[in-house]
Amino acid sequence: MKNFIYSFLLISLIACAPSNSQETKAGKKVAEKPRDFNDYWYAGEAEITSYKLEQARYGEIHSGEAVLVFVTEPFSKSKQVKLDNWRDESEDNVSVMKLNMTKKFLTGIYPYSMMMSTFTPVSYDQHPDLLKVTTSSQEWCGHTFMQLNLQDGNYRLRGFSYFESEGDIDVTLPNVTLEDELWSRIRFNPENLPIGEIQLVPSTFYLRFRHQEAKPMKATASKLEVHTSEFSDEPHHIYTLEYDNRKLSIYYEPDFPYTILGWEETYMSGFSNPERLTTKAKRINTIKSAYWGKNSNKDRELRKELGLSID
């Protein structure tokens, strides 16, 4: 299944083979989750990380904010929604890692607000495929929505847009790696990330920005270990994808919980005179919080802790 050269850095390739492994149903060896996984991810809180965002759009770089929210939830495998009854003990109850990734930035006079949600089963050996992705984008021209669901072994993609050429779509995509699932795969155990030549459905954010058709592409995936970079003064790892004249590098800590330090994304931006630009997101802060109960005016102090705007 489903390099970036630092002349002043000491870089070494990370070994791909896991030391502790188990068999998936597909017979694929996968590294086990860290011993502290349940203590960290099932403590009744979400992990919230804020990032300073420099977003490429319309051939320029725009400042903004990004947030990654990771939290485990009970999920209905059949309905592919969060279960109301988390005590449901049927086989339909699948524990997932939900990622909500948000981006907010201004382009000239008008704002962009974007959100991508993924629902990835925690038990990779029992449920090796991501179950669902939803992505929306709102700006003054209009809004768009895209959803992928695992159905009958493939992915059903439905998309809705205010652009005539994109229109409303309902298509089936083969079951290959989805770029959007890899963020959660890092958090489970990065030893399980795909390496080498792979088939990949691009990021739904990227498809939105480039107005491209969603379809599998051949990509090259690699992992590196670096001693320092602009994202951290401590040793950390980089997972890189390259395809379609695009390069995505995700920087993350080498030890559990494999916190994502930031990312860089380089591709052609703009339509009349496109330029090859790089989007960057650098971590501001990380907190654990049951944020769903932090909805009063006094809780805005937590946004200050995260370094996010109050208004």
Domain boundary assignment for the chain: 11-305
φ and ψ at residue 251, rounded to 5 degrees: -100, 130
pLDDT digits (tens, 9 = 90+) for 80-109: 999 998 787 888 999 999 999 999 999 999
- In DSSP notation, 245-258 reads TEEEEEEE-SSTT-
Average pLDDT for residues 294-307, to the nearest whole number? 95
pLDDT digits (tens, 9 = 90+) for 190-233: 999 999 999 999 999 999 998 889 999 999 999 999 999 999 99
Question: Which tokens go with 45?
Answer: 């809180």
| Helix ranges (DSSP H) in the chain | 37-41, 182-188, 204-210, 301-305
* 274: CB partners within 8 A, 6+ apart: 59, 268
Question: Which tokens go with 150?
Answer: 């695992």
Question: What's the CA gap between 268 and 150, in Å, rounded?
Answer: 31
Q: Say what percent of the chain tops pLDDT 90.
A: 80
Question: What's the CA gap between 174 and 201, in Å, rounded?
Answer: 9
Q: Residue 88 has what pLDDT?
A: 79
What amino acid occupies position 12?
Answer: S
Assess contact for 220 and 197: CB atoms under 8 A.
yes
Q: How confident is the model at residue 23 (pLDDT cuts 50, 70, 90)?
A: very low
pLDDT digits (tens, 9 = 90+) for 26-73: 444 578 888 899 999 999 999 999 999 999 999 999 999 999 999 999
- In DSSP notation, 137-175 reads EEETTEEEEEEEEEETTEEEEEEE-S-TTT--EEEEE-S
Question: What's the CA gap between 106 and 159, in Å, rounded?
Answer: 24
Assess contact for 190 and 16: CB atoms under 8 A.
no
What amino acid occupies position 84?
Answer: D
Average pLDDT, the chain: 90
Q: Are β-strands 29-31 and 110-121 bridged in parallel, bridged antiparallel, or unpaired?
A: unpaired
List, in sequence order, every residue forming a beta bridge with 91; answer none if it has no partner. Answer: none
